[in-house]
Structure 1
Amino acid sequence: MGLRNLQTFLFFLLLMVLGLSAPLSAAEGKRLALVVGNSAYTATTPLANAAADARAFTAFLKENGFEVDSLINVDRAGFARGLSNFSKKIGPADTALFYFAGHGMQLKGENFLLGLDAELLSEFDVDAEAIALNSIISIMERKASLSLLFVDACRNNPIADRLNASVEGVTRGAALKGLAPVSSTGSGTMIAFSASPGQVAYDGVGENSPFTTALVEHLASPSLEVGTAFKRVIRDVRIKTNNVQSPQIVSNIAAEFYFNASAPATAVAASDFLAQIDFEKAERIATARGWQLYLAKHQSGSFSDSARAALRLLEGGGDGLVSPQEAESRMRLTQSQRKEIQLTLSDLGYEIGAVDGNFGQKTRRAISRYQKALGLTETGYINSVVANRLELVGVTSTDSVVSADEARLFEPEDLKGLETDERIIRAAQCLRGKEIIYGEFGSRLYVAVYDRHSSWQTAKSAAQR
């Protein structure tokens, strides 16, 4: 097939896919939102960014078709009035969204959001001075078709520590005790927290918190479903806070919801479209190897920086990464393979000096330039991504094949198109529906299956397959 015909084919393929799978909003009614941002607390630590976060999220929602009620720096009574007015607007076909930035706490397994006037001198003051999060969830689930809640609040109990008033402005509390776990019985509810239980939700050093910044950046990505978008929010927040804050999502949404369902996806180039398909596969695979394979296939483009960030995060965000020298050492390159690398680089137009299998200054310089051309960090040392791109055959490495830290489901369809080891794809196919973990030991692939109720005969049968 000629280049022109291939481009035409990819273009029509894109139109077919978009036409057949064009997402519908989970609800066809109005998009309604209540946004609350409390910064100017009088009896506890003021927050630098909460009000600004609420304003930024309000603007974001209005740009994406929401009718927004915005409450900035309100006391408990104003908070309650705003909730009452909001609830009266919600119809059974509507999408209802609630956003809160400010102080939060838990008491006896229930979570509360605080108005500006909350003093909470004892636990008996909580009902009168705070709003129960469960009551907000209950109202939204009862009245709306789809309920979305975003809580950018500190996870700390002010009764135990008086909201750690000495931490002024640095965080949304020092979080001695996290918010209680939240569950939802509704069939169309998603609850997103800025931090996991026991973690601090940071105000951030800029105008907005890391959580709200990531929400605004990712939720309205063209034709990106909210669940997938939130994975990117989690990744960004973890990167920006050096892994000390990880957002949490509780969702039982059956239908798909898109903040930006009307985005002009047809304007996306066919190459970007295919890269997005692979990127979403790599997100679902969620292993360092998966991201390495993605980058070997897509060195540049709209998603490459996000892929590199995801890879750094899984490899320890920089703290747990081995040195470039160690990474190359783990490749266990033979003299023949080193010569093959030199020859390939020479064929690509790089000056490598003598083809002798010794990586001198010229070869190291050539590797660095090749890495720069791929959009990778210029280390001058070979790693699995570079070796994969150079199509180096027979490379063995103690970590060249590895799955997640724990056994989980791997869909063969996600592995196809990225995974270069056919054995892994075949293993995932014959063990479909089973939680597996795989890796390489001494150039041999192992696959282990985790099954809570397997008999010896079942395990033997799986091993034989």
Structure 2
Amino acid sequence: MSRFLIVTAFRAFAFCLVALGPAQASTGIALIIANETYDNLRGARGAAAVLRTVERLEAAGFRVDLATDVSAGAMQAALSQLSRSLTEQPHERVVIVFAGHVLNASHGTWLMGTNASQPNVASVEGEGVRLATVLAIASQRQGGAVVAVADFGFPLSGGAGFSPGLPAENAVPQGVTLVRGGAPGITDFLRSLATPGVTIGSLAGRRSDIQIEGFNPPYLTFLPVGHEPVRDADRTAWGVALDADTVASYQAYLAEWPNGEYADQAQAALTRLLNTPERIETALGLSRDERRSIQRDLTILGYNPRGIDGIFGAGTRGAIGAWQGANNLTQTGYLNRDQVFSLAQQGAQRAAQLEAEARARQQAEERRDRAFWRDTGSGQDEVGLRAYLREFPDGIFSSVAQDRLDQIEADRRAAAQARDRAAWDIAVRADTVGSYNDYLGAFPNGAFADQARDRIAQLRGPAEPQIDEGRARATEDALQLPQFTRVIIEQRLESMGFEPGPADGQFDRQTRRAIRRYQRASELEVTGFLTQPIVARLLTEGVLDLFR
């Protein structure tokens, strides 16, 4: 099965490097460059004959790369790719073939690209590739390297010290065989070279039109007797694994072919798939409680996970991604171990900061509360009590003030005349400025005169902000707080000095007042009802207290 790889062009029209055979061959790798048509020179007619060796080399297990009618730059690119392949992959043998025009001088020999014209000392490096470079690349596989040159000479007369064709002798690196001759002889040599059990020397001896330089051991075969390329079963199994591109498919290939030709590639693919963000988070094995803690941390930091239920849905993934972006991390929506620790640390720091701010505000509010209580008579008269409750309806002394006012009103009602009391009840039921003025007109010194005037002042004063109690209650009900969570919240409010009453999980009037106190201290909307962020803060602050 063949595959095609397009490589960058280095001339005005496209240069195509074609890789034939498996991505990793069992026998070795071959690069065949056939330059028959030149842009500015007479063509090297017959150079393409070397392409007839492809099928024999493939059958012997070589990976064959072809480059036809290419410039010097494209030849360099193909040779560079070959050099990388020899460095990165365990090819045992390498065969490099060039067919085309050749030029030599005292300072080097060049295999000419199709962009060649009449080179000089300055331009020759851009019009051809040094034979020494090709031999150096081949020397990476000493003892298994063949460089074959089908020499077509050079169609123009030599100038500036240049001569056509290869020189009589060439400096060949140790372990490299240089075969030179015409295209027919080189083609026949290469086809025979792919036969197991033959020696290079015996092949050269069969034809008078080829010569060998460099490595030529008399008894060493290029391909051993009985040589067989990788069986199709390995390649087929690799193709199945590659098409599926899953962890299971690569594991199945490695189980069947642990030392196969593609084992390294399969292992690399496994590493790639196993290191996905989702798999990394799954490997952490986060418990339901740990996931709730992560959601609480996100809430504390201002990222809404849409619930603290231990289930990482779209809301939590979005919140994680937003947090990652704010911290210059890749926004995957999944956490690794370091990110879990970092998020927990940030959540703890923010919770501590919020608690410290709330404590400072609470302390300042308590100081103002106590000062106002003192300045209004410490609850010794009705005017002071009412002034205190108007300023601090949920203050430290609000229960005492309300109890005393209740007693004052009870005493007043007991002492009031029936008519006075009835008139007052009428005014209260109407609860208008007019109704209270009517009462004062009838009882200017009545038992409830001061209350009437206070109420008139309230009705004429700025309107209190209206709280949508139904909506606030519905928001709290939607949280579906279990009994033990309510008890923890009451205990937390008590520890902070907000006096919620008994920690029994029943949110009564005292509890609502404590919640309102907490909301004021935390600069939150004062409703007396809980929201998800408030619950998260209370529970997180409670956990922090355990470690103090």
TM-score, length of structure 2 as denominator length: 0.33
Higher RCO (CA < 8 A, seq sep 6+): 1
Max radius of gyration: which structure?
2
Q: Which has the higher helix share?
A: 2
TM-score, length of structure 1 as denominator length: 0.39
